[in-house]
Chains A and B, each alone.
Chain A
Amino acid sequence: MSAAPRETSWSGQKGAFLALLGPPLGWFLLFFAAPLAVVWAYSFGTNVGAAEIAISGTFANYARALEPLYLGILAKSVGIAALATLICLLLGFPVALAISFAAPQARIWLLIGIMLPFWTNLLIRTYALIAVLRDEGLVNTALASLADALGLPFAPLRMINTNVAVIVGLVYVHLPFMVLPIYAALDRMDRTLIEASLDLGAGHLRTMFAIVIPLAAPGIAAGLLLTLVPALGSYLAPDLLGGPNSQMIANVIERQFKRANDWPFGAALSFMLVYLTFLILALRPLLARKGAGA
């Protein structure tokens, strides 16, 4: 309990508290918790008819999800998402740093620039990427005219329907989620700490690693999670940009629910992803502690 007197604190007023909490809590239970519970129950079920599932309490679906084929896809999803996250960090940190050191008037426009892609539908943005990456796309056309000008032979780069395209798509979509929390952390940092470091004999590079990065660690940790978790469950990027060999776990799950009509197995695979996400979230405090205790 807070030290505030009970009668002045609105959270002490049960009626007001329930009236405010009620609608969002009801919404959450009805549209999030309940469907999720149904899917969780399905993951312990068996198909008994074309549209009928018996909740038999079986672990067979999970056993199948742990088969090398599916574990391999899960591992590959983690790998692709992790690589995309790492690229986001390497690209996003300098961007966040540049924005936080920009003139105050410029800062707001740069931040709007970072968020601009959100104003367009994800599907449209992904199709636009196809136009950029395909064999006759913008990248290859540009490279072809460059090669032409230099008199070099040119064969179009194969990007679309490869893992590279998937990673490009994931980085593109998730970069703002990396930049914004790091920017917030850098913006809070006391600039005189940098001057103090220079004053004490450190160069700019050492100041970066000894002062700036450790102090931005909470923002970096938040950015890593905000990028890794949604990237892991990505569906559109591997579906549209990837080839048959760049399927991620979300694409496999979708097939179980639709073409294979095996809801119990799809549910079990879905929950494998949920459990994995929980595990990553549990790692967060560890990450934060390591960053703070440097």
Chain B
Amino acid sequence: MRTIIEFRNISKSFGDVLAVDDVSLTINEGEFFALLGPSGCGKTTLLRMLAGFETPSRGTILIDGRDITRTPPNRRPVNMVFQSYAVFPHMSVLQNVEYGLRMDGVAAAERRARAREALAQVKLEALEARMPDQLSGGQRQRVALARAIVKRPRVLLLDEPLSALDAKLREELRFELSDLQDRLGITFVMVTHDQDEALALATRCAVMHKGSLLQVATPADLYEFPSSRLVADFIGSVNLFEGHVIADESDHAVIDLPEHGARAWLDHGVGVSETVTVWLAVRPEKVELHKRGHGTPPPEIEGTPAGYNVLAGTIRDIAYLGSESVFDVALESGQRLRVIRPNLTRWDQEDFIWDEPVWVAWHAEAAAVLLQ
């Protein structure tokens, strides 16, 4: 894969605030790359430095191997879709889309043809004569998209592209965006605080926190193999247990969880010293619930020796969400655990009730071990 964007040791401070702290990152041609993180993590600053609206305090940015760190925005081969869309209110839809081509001195006939083609790409060809105040939010978003792609940029930048739309429209546009990227083959770089959006759209994500990159990986790797508690917690929800490694072989490991008077069994070695504190991370949908009433013994878990990966608890709350139910389980240690069960049959949700004693259990391959 060919590198298209390279951030080299980029830092940016505003006064005393360090917004971006020594970030190095490469993005490949044709990727749909997402910068993901909570507000204030520096992701927008990074995108704005790529667009040319901010200048890095330190470091260099390269596009196609060319240093563009100090190139003004109008001379960069990138175009941006703004969070507020920034559609020019005094120009029609067509004039908006033609604007960038007019600035490049493209002849009128070609300009019009290309603008119409871009409007067709976003299914807006019927509205070319409308003024922006006659458009819905979703339509304005499409104008902003068409206006950016008509210039055939090397990289398309998207700043929270779907955040201002309602849930239904967001889902619809999500599919359209990834479809559009497939068709155009342009590299997309998107900023979002919405992990679902990032997981659904991106081929690769960078998770940012306080100006630094925490992890850069594919959505599936971020979810299943998070590198830290912060990432595990930011992408989806996670149950964390603090403990120490007490056995570490090539085919299994055992982690002591002193707070819970229990031990966890993993189906792989972890290569971690016994003296350091580790955290066992288990996703809510990977935890099983079993009945515990009337002296029911702990369940047997396939591939795990008896007595491991099982904890006793009581259901404290149930949120029925239709496709699944979310259980809040109080463990005997006092820690709360989140368990998600898909409602596979129509009577399934009747199975567990409030204040019911349960066993919670997970498979040997279900948990990740985190060092930080």
A residues apposed to B, CB below 8 Å: 190, 192-193, 195-203, 206, 210-211, 214-215, 292-294
Contact = CB atoms under 8 A, between A and B. Distances in A.
A193 B104 CA distance: 18
Contacts of A214: 90
A210 B79 CA distance: 19
Interface residues of B, number: 22
Given A202-B99, A202-B103, 19 more contacts: A190-B84, A193-B86, A195-B51, A195-B73, A195-B86, A196-B82, A196-B86, A196-B88, A198-B53, A199-B51, A199-B73, A199-B74, A200-B74, A200-B100, A201-B74, A201-B151, A203-B74, A215-B89, A293-B90
A215 B90 contact: yes
A119 B86 CA distance: 40
Contacts of A198: 52-53, 72-74
B363 interface: no
Contacts of B73: 195, 198-199
Contacts of A201: 74, 100, 103-104, 151
Interface in B77-115: 78-80, 82, 84, 86, 88-90, 99-100, 103-104
Contacts of B52: 198-199
B153 to A, nearest CB: 9
B193 to A, nearest CB: 18
Contact of B84 (A192, A210, A294): A192
A193 B88 contact: yes
B151 to A, nearest CB: 7
A195 B104 contact: no
B147 interface: yes
27 contacts: A192-B86, A193-B86, A193-B88, A193-B89, A195-B73, A196-B80, A196-B82, A196-B147, A198-B53, A198-B72, A198-B74, A199-B78, A199-B79, A199-B80, A199-B148, A200-B103, A200-B148, A200-B151, A201-B100, A202-B99, A202-B103, A206-B103, A211-B88, A215-B89, A215-B90, A293-B90, A294-B90
Contact of B86 (A190, A202, A203, A206): A190
A238 B79 CA distance: 55
Contacts of A192: 82, 84, 86
B175 to A, nearest CB: 25
Contacts of B89: 193, 215
A215 B89 CA distance: 8
Nearest to A214: B90
Contacts of B79: 199-200
A202 B100 CA distance: 7
A214 B88 CA distance: 10
A211 B53 CA distance: 17
Nearest to A292: B90
Nearest to B89: A215
B2 to A, nearest CB: 24
Nearest to A200: B100
Contacts of A197: 88, 99
Contacts of A292: 90
Contacts of A196: 80, 82, 86, 88, 147
A97 B73 CA distance: 21
* In the complex, the 5 A-B pairs of residues with the closest C-beta atoms, listed nearest first: A200-B100, A196-B86, A201-B103, A192-B86, A198-B73
Contacts of A195: 51, 53, 73, 80, 82, 86
Nearest to B157: A199
Contacts of A190: 84, 86
